[in-house]
Amino acid sequence: MKGIIVAAAALSLLVAPAFAEQSVKIGFVTTLSGPAGVIGKHMKDASTLALEMLGGKIGGLPATIVYGDDQFKPDVGRQISEEMLQRDKVDFMTGFIWSNVLLASYQPIIRSGVILIGANAGPHELAGAMCAPNYFSASWQNDQTPEAMGKFMNDRKMNDVYLIAPDYAAGRDMVNGFKRYFKGKVAAEVYTKPGQSDYQVEISQIRQAAPKALFIFLPGGMGIQFVKQYAQSGLRDQIPLYSAFTVDETTLPAIGDAAAGNYEVSFWSPDLDNPRNQQFVAAFRAKYHYMPSYYAAQSFDAINMIDAAVKAVKGNLADKQGMIAAIDKADFPSVRGAFKYGPNHFPIENFYLLKIVKDADGEYVRKIQSTIFADHADAYASECKMK
Amino acid sequence: MTAVLEQLLNGAQFGVMLFLMAAGLTLIFGIMNLINLAHGSLYMAGAYVAAATFAASGSFLLALLAALAAAVALGAAIEIVVFRTLYDREHLDQVLATFGLILFFNELVRMIWGATALYMQVPAFLAGHVELLSGSPYPTYRLAVIGAGLAVALLLHLLIARTRIGMLIRAGASNRAMVDALGVNVTMLYTLVFALGAALAAFAGAMAGPIFTVESGMGESVLILAFVVIVIGGIGSLRGAFVAALLVGIVDAMGRAFLRPLLASFMSHATADNAGPALASMLIYILMAAILLIRPQGLFPPRGR
């Protein structure tokens, strides 16, 4: 009897690795602590919801998501990415809020052959010279969104605009994108410390410069602090504030009145009218009792892209080429509606003008006003030589 | 001209907050010869207790009092439990032990309040702005911070220069062995100084709440600057800490405001955009290095050592 048990145990050891192959593991890198922790919460909640709505399965295989906190630090992001690749042996990598964290983590992931789906950051390097077959963006290229704001402000014949962005990879991309479509005079470009929380010095400078308008890119806690302090300074009624990735569902609960009536731009909004999006927003609100942001929408799409890829190869995770070809078709129900992939694996999609208004419940939300760009591709695709 | 004046105010506001931090640090270092890296944790505790109390009660004054009370209790408890065993140890041991305290408190705050940051509103009675110079409104809250900081500095000066406890503190800073030999209860004195330092740090934290984000680890960035301040000012000197804190605050504000335009006046805009922010964040440390080169003991080294 004892012998049989030992034999069975030994056999089960042999069988175990085969079983392990039949599951999907996804590494998810985001920021879960500090002022940007709320962004990570949106992304974690949305990806958890996506997996739950798929019945806990990716492409029909049992699946788990491993979360890692990059603390908004490139070195930490790279370290946890390498841990996920080597220790957790993940089949896919996704997440990444910050361009500098993604750039630092990019090479080890790409070299490992694991498919990487950026669920937020879209630095221009990765859309151009550093593009790779096993990298896709589920969001946008950094320049695209501020390009839409640049076009909007240019169409309104605005002039003398003051620009503020954090001094890191995405900050430079945002300013470049804005200037690509804004042809009026730029009063100044100011780069602040990433993670800065007191903007009084910069606000005093704005008052002295007395520009006609202000365009800022200050995501997460930085935006909360800036917009509140800007309202406190009394400048808000004199110099209108326009922003990208700053006043959104992650920051509005803390900003509130200080951003009422402001304009933003995005490829997505909770009120975007398509059945998949309404299903996502309703499920998200029912489960978490708050409004999802684009960070949540992108993460939700990223998990569903992975699901479509694994389905296309019928669970054969070794067939990387097959999965890459499947993702490239963008043939999955996206919350942004139908879209296509460009040759550099970045989406070609619409960008909308949004306004901050109060909804029926008295909460501040972002509402779509108009379409600024339809099927807008990024500016770097021609630099990408896909090997 | 108003540009410079306004940035001077910004610098002074940051400076008095640094002073509140540095005052406790320099007293503790000067009198007890103890390097307390966990001073930033007391600042963080003050900010969290104030933010939580303010959110719950809606009273800013109550929030300030709660922060002070919590920090005094916490400070005294840490002194009795941890630091009493550290006074006779080497500085390296103190650094290791207090660094451990930082990790402990950062994690504790995460367990109690969560990993995401808290945002503290500016109290309603200080929410507006005042027209100081014509056409240049300045946020009332920031003026209140400057006022409160200066008032605390004055009170602290009176306490140290005019009272019996202050005399003992000064004596302790000059010659501990002699004070002990004269029959003063040095153990009590140490706990008292430590609680005072904790209260100052918590006051700074509570005032910083509406300006900065209240988050785990918020004390460390301020702590580094506070160390710069006490090194520039002369370790153990309150007057030095005050002057150095204002100096550091103003140099930081001026650097952030005027360095980039200054560079742009003689080099290309793109280079200035790159070099400006980088150089501005280094400016305080360059200042420290320059001052130490001329006066290795700091600006106002305490006498008698």
Instruction: Return the residue in B251, B256, B274 with the most chain A beta carbons within 10 A, the one to mutate for interface testing.
Output: B256
In the predicted model, what is the mean pLDDT of chain A? 91
Contact list in A for residue B115 (CB cut-off 8 A) is 32-34, 37, 69
Residue A305 lies in a domain: yes
* Domain span holding position A49: 2-140+272-338
Contact list in B for residue A254 (CB cut-off 8 A) is 119
The encoded tokens of residue A234 equal 């009394």
At CA A248, angle to CA A242 and CA A250, rounded to 5?
145
pLDDT band at B169 (very low <50, low <70, confident <90, very high): confident
Q: Would you call A232 and B115 a contact, using CB atoms and an 8 Å cutoff?
A: no
Q: Would you call B273 and A191 a contact, using CB atoms and an 8 Å cutoff?
A: yes
CB of B213 within 8 Å of a chain A CB? The answer is yes
pLDDT of residue A17: 44
**May I ask the CATH class of domain B8-128+137-294?**
mainly alpha
Domain ranges in chain B are 8-128+137-294
Beta bridge partners of A356: A366
CA nearest neighbour of A249 among A89, A45, A53, A22:
A45
Average pLDDT, integer, range B19-31: 89
Q: Would you call B10 and A232 a contact, using CB atoms and an 8 Å cutoff?
A: no
The encoded tokens of residue B112 equal 């109690």
pLDDT of residue A249: 92
Scanning B58-139, the segments in alpha helix (DSSP H) are 60-81, 91-113
Segment B253-266, tens digit of pLDDT: 999 888 888 888 88
| CATH number of the domain bearing residue A315 | 3.40.50.2300
Contact list in B for residue A189 (CB cut-off 8 A) is 273
Radius of gyration of chain A (CA): 22
Segment A267-316, tens digit of pLDDT: 999 999 999 999 999 999 999 999 999 999 999 999 999 999 999 999 99
| DSSP states along B75-87 | HHHHHHHTGGGTT
How many angstroms separate the CA atoms of A153 and A216, rounded? 13
Residue A7 has pLDDT above 70, yes or no: no
Segment B49-101, tens digit of pLDDT: 999 999 999 899 999 999 999 999 999 999 999 988 888 888 899 999 999 99
Contact list in A for residue B215 (CB cut-off 8 A) is 33-35, 221
Residue A91 lies in a domain: yes
B241 close to B39: Cβ distance less than 8 angstroms: no
CB of B139 within 8 Å of a chain A CB? The answer is yes
Residue A66 has pLDDT above 80, yes or no: yes
Beta bridge partners of A341: A347
Beta strands per DSSP E along chain A: 24-30, 57-58, 61-69, 92-95, 115-118, 135-137, 161-166, 186-192, 213-216, 241-243, 263-266, 340-341, 347-358, 364-376
CB atoms within 10 A of CB B121: 16
pLDDT of residue A353: 96
Residue A199 lies in a domain: yes
Residue A1 has pLDDT above 60, yes or no: no
Residue A252 lies in a domain: yes
Q: Would you call B139 and A193 a contact, using CB atoms and an 8 Å cutoff?
A: no
Segment A25-57, tens digit of pLDDT: 999 999 998 778 889 999 999 999 999 999 999
Segment A204-262, tens digit of pLDDT: 899 889 999 999 999 988 998 899 889 888 888 899 999 999 999 998 988 888 899 99
Contact list in A for residue B6 (CB cut-off 8 A) is 204, 207-208
Task: Examine the domain organization and report whether A84 and A20 are in the same domain.
Answer: yes
Contact list in A for residue B256 (CB cut-off 8 A) is 201-202
Q: How many domains does chain A have?
A: 2
Average pLDDT, integer, range A144-156: 95
Q: Please give, rounded to a whole number of angstroms, the shortest distance from the CA of B278 to a CA of chain A.
A: 9
Task: Examine the domain organization and report whether A130 and A212 are in the same domain.
Answer: no
Task: A188-191: list long-range contacts, CB under 8 Å, 24+ apart.
Answer: A188/A162, A188/A163, A189/A163, A189/A165, A189/B273, A190/A162, A190/A163, A190/A164, A190/A165, A190/B260, A191/A164, A191/A165, A191/A166, A191/A167, A191/B273, A191/B276, A191/B277
H/E stretch holding B256 reads: helix B238-264
Task: Examine the domain organization and report whether A50 and A103 are in the same domain.
Answer: yes
Task: Examine the domain organization and report whether A208 and A317 are in the same domain.
Answer: no
For A35, which of B127, B138, B215 is closest by C-beta distance? B215
Task: Examine the domain organization and report whether A191 and A310 are in the same domain.
Answer: no
Higher pLDDT, A367 or B305: A367
Percent of chain B as helix, strand, coil, to the nearest 5: 75, 5, 20
pLDDT of residue B186: 83
Residue A27 lies in a domain: yes
How many angstroms separate the CA atoms of A245 and A173, rounded? 13
Average pLDDT, integer, range B184-200: 89
How many angstroms separate the CA atoms of A97 and B245, rounded? 36
A127 close to A378: Cβ distance less than 8 angstroms: yes
Segment A333-354, tens digit of pLDDT: 999 999 999 999 999 999 999 9
Residue A16 has pLDDT above 50, yes or no: no
pLDDT of residue B88: 83
Segment A96-131, tens digit of pLDDT: 999 999 999 999 999 999 999 999 999 999 999 999
Q: Would you call A208 and B6 a contact, using CB atoms and an 8 Å cutoff?
A: yes
How many angstroms separate the CA atoms of A154 and A104, rounded? 35
How many angstroms separate the CA atoms of B100 and A225, rounded? 30
The encoded tokens of residue A341 equal 């992939």
Task: Examine the domain organization and report whether A120 and A154 are in the same domain.
Answer: no
Residue A385 lies in a domain: no
**Beta pairing, strands A92-95 & A347-358:** unpaired
Residue A4 has pLDDT above 70, yes or no: no
Phi-psi region of A334 (alpha: psi -120 to 50; beta: other; left: phi over 0): beta
Residue A346 lies in a domain: no
Contact list in B for residue A35 (CB cut-off 8 A) is 116-117, 213, 215
Task: Examine the domain organization and report whether A228 and A371 are in the same domain.
Answer: yes
Task: Examine the domain organization and report whether A156 and A222 are in the same domain.
Answer: yes
pLDDT band at A380 (very low <50, low <70, confident <90, very high): very high
Q: Which of residues 150-169 of B touch A (CB under 8 A)?
A: none
For tokens 């805009």, the residue is B269
Task: Examine the domain organization and report whether A134 and A228 are in the same domain.
Answer: no
Residue A235 lies in a domain: yes
| Poorest-pLDDT segment among A206-215, A245-254, B134-143, B186-195 | B134-143
The encoded tokens of residue B87 equal 């006074």
How many angstroms separate the CA atoms of A281 and A42, rounded? 12
AA identity, residue B2: T
Half-sphere exposure of A338 (CA within 13 A, CB side): 2
Phi, psi angle pair for A81, to nearest 5°? -65, -45
At CA A223, angle to CA A222 and CA A229, rounded to 5?
95
Task: Examine the domain organization and report whether A298 and A371 are in the same domain.
Answer: no
What strands lie across the sheet with A135-137, from one edge to the other?
A57-58, A61-69, A24-30, A92-95, A115-118, A135-137
Q: Please give, rounded to a whole number of angstroms, the shortest distance from the CA of B18 to a CA of chain A.
A: 14
Q: Would you call A233 and B137 a contact, using CB atoms and an 8 Å cutoff?
A: yes
pLDDT of residue A330: 93
Residue B41 has pLDDT above 60, yes or no: yes
Scanning A22-161, the segments in alpha helix (DSSP H) are 37-53, 74-86, 99-112, 124-127, 144-155
CB of B123 within 8 Å of a chain A CB? The answer is no
| Poorest-pLDDT segment among A74-78, B184-188, B285-289 | B184-188
Residue B102 has pLDDT above 70, yes or no: yes
pLDDT of residue A3: 54
Half-sphere exposure of A270 (CA within 13 A, CB side): 22
Q: Would you call A35 and B7 a contact, using CB atoms and an 8 Å cutoff?
A: no
Q: Collect all residues from A whose CB is shorter than 8 A from any CB in B.
A: 32-35, 37-38, 41, 69, 167, 189-193, 197-198, 200-202, 204-205, 207-208, 221, 224-225, 228-229, 232-234, 254
Task: Examine the domain organization and report whether A314 and A366 are in the same domain.
Answer: no
User: Among residues of chain B, what percentage have pLDDT more than 90?
Assistant: 49
Task: Examine the domain organization and report whether A179 and A252 are in the same domain.
Answer: yes
Half-sphere exposure of B86 (CA within 13 A, CB side): 24
Phi-psi region of A337 (alpha: psi -120 to 50; beta: other; left: phi over 0): left
CB of B211 within 8 Å of a chain A CB? The answer is yes
